Structure 1
Amino acid sequence: GGRARGGGTKEGGGGNTGMIIAIAAAAIVVIGGVAFAVFSGKEDHGKAAASEKSKDAEAGSKKKKKKDDAPRPAAPLPPSDTGTFKPGARAMAGVGKDVPDMKCNPETKQTFEGLVSGGKVSEVVGQDYTWITYIIDGLLSDNEAVVKATCEALHKIIVKRKLDASQSDLGKQSTMGGINMPELRGGEYTYWAQWWLMLPNRNAIATWAEQAGADPSSSKPGGSTVIGNPASEDWAKTLAECRSGGFANQNNPEYYHFQRVKSMGKSAYPKLVEFIDNEDSTIGRAAVLLLIELTGRSDAPSRVNDANKAQIKADWAEYIKK
């Protein structure tokens, strides 16, 4: 009987060991599961956090991109030729301010415009030394027919005289690109006005006149074809451009203003006297400088200021009566 008991004890001991092993295994599974859950939770949380960060970064990037991509103000488009002739080239060129003024005589200008628009371009080209300043000025006309005929005349003169027209359409053709646009006509005028202002070119024009047997002065403003008119002269502008004197130097634009005023004779004197007490004393001084040069008077003061301008004006008013 004892043996059977012993056997029973042994079996019972074996059963306990199996149970312990089973419990231990179950515990390991549970602990492993918990650990996995905890780890997974952390991983998911990390992924979520990373995902949130990624979203934030993406949103920030989009915001920045949106800001960078914001439309900037568009640059103004260059002028385009609509096919319709538009006036206003003279104002756009800044004549008398930024570029030289040809100072054409109004009556002679009318004659010129009648010639070119009346189909007499060849006649004008034949006397280019006489009409060159009117041709240059004609580029600014608000009359389409005059502008087109002027371009034709200038093209023919360029070819005839072999002028450097590398910066002008008119070197190769009798019309300019964008002729309907005042901006481009103003630019063409500027090119030729500056060309004319260079002394070698003016000397060349005088030579054209000599070769044709004409008076060389006929090619110069203030000469036989450009007689100044005291009634139509823009005296304020002329005097503003004569502030520095220099009337004897042909390299100076002032020389040509002086020649034009000189061509008016004594009829210019009262007009000049009127401006001596101008509110701008530099204008008054220019008027006095011109009067001194025109009359040859040597005893007159040339310095004009607010304190003495009334007295100087009265003095000159008396002097020109002699």
Structure 2
Amino acid sequence: MKIALITPAPPGSKAGNRATAERWSGLLQQAGHQVSLLTEYTDEPCDLFIALHAWRSHEAVTRFRHLHPETPLIVVLTGTDIYDHQYRYPEQTHNSMEVADCLVGLHHRVGRDIPERFADKLVTVLQSADKPVNGTDDRKNTFDICVIGHLRQEKDPLRAALAARLLPDTSAIRVFNAGKAHTPDWEQQALAEQEANPRFKWLGELDKPAIHRLMHSSRAMVISSLMEGGANVVSEACRAGLPVIASDISGNLGLLGDNYPGYFRVGDEADLARVLQQAEQSSRFLGELHNRVRELARLFTPEAEQAALLATIEKALAGRARLSPGA
């Protein structure tokens, strides 16, 4: 099939939507499809149209549906679509959901967080990650925690640093934050925290090999986000066998499971400090987190993601065929 895949994130962007689009393009091409990766829609026909982001891609979605009413259309729901834009911009966001033949959620709880009338269209595709190559283990005398994600409000990126301030003097925990500051204000906040907090270091934006080295040198990863559509960094941590300590938001619950033991109350640095201290002091607790992420790792392989994508395409084709005249 000739597939058009549109994302608002431009080439070279480190945004999650761009990474998803490029990975999906590769997986679909491996399956024999031709994929055009777009940032703007210029009316060209295709056999299937995939749009990342219901709100940001709304104009492209509605124009495509108007010009090509019989062609299958898939809309991928991002975290901001589900937990922000469908409330701030309900008309556009829900309209994209309405005209789509199939909706993709990136974690297992998306169906609880969108209008019930769209539930029949929804398919879950868990984002994959390559298994990192193991390096030399240099973690024996440290207890480093990594936070990986751009510095912006939705990520609550300094929550682990604030939690580290509450730890006792005997703790060996240090927090290393890898991510680009989205605004000068976030850069100033990170630099100020680094100056005031001896347990915290901001590393800025790192490339993939450096991220893998950071994961390998860390005892656990904190994902403290206020909202997530299904963070790929969780997939990466699980594939690396790195324990995850996560805010108890729907997007994290939908990846790690309701009974995962490593949650803390979102936005609560005192509760996060409690879990960090438990991980440092209890080898049994840390071992349980290790075991759980290793069990989950099989869900986040490229093969599993590719199979889910192909099943989504079949669902979209079947949905459009039922609606087409004469079907």
Taking structure 1 as the reference length, the TM-score comes to: 0.27
Which protein has the bigger helix share? 1
Greater RCO, 1 or 2 (C-alpha within 8 Å, sep 6+)? 2
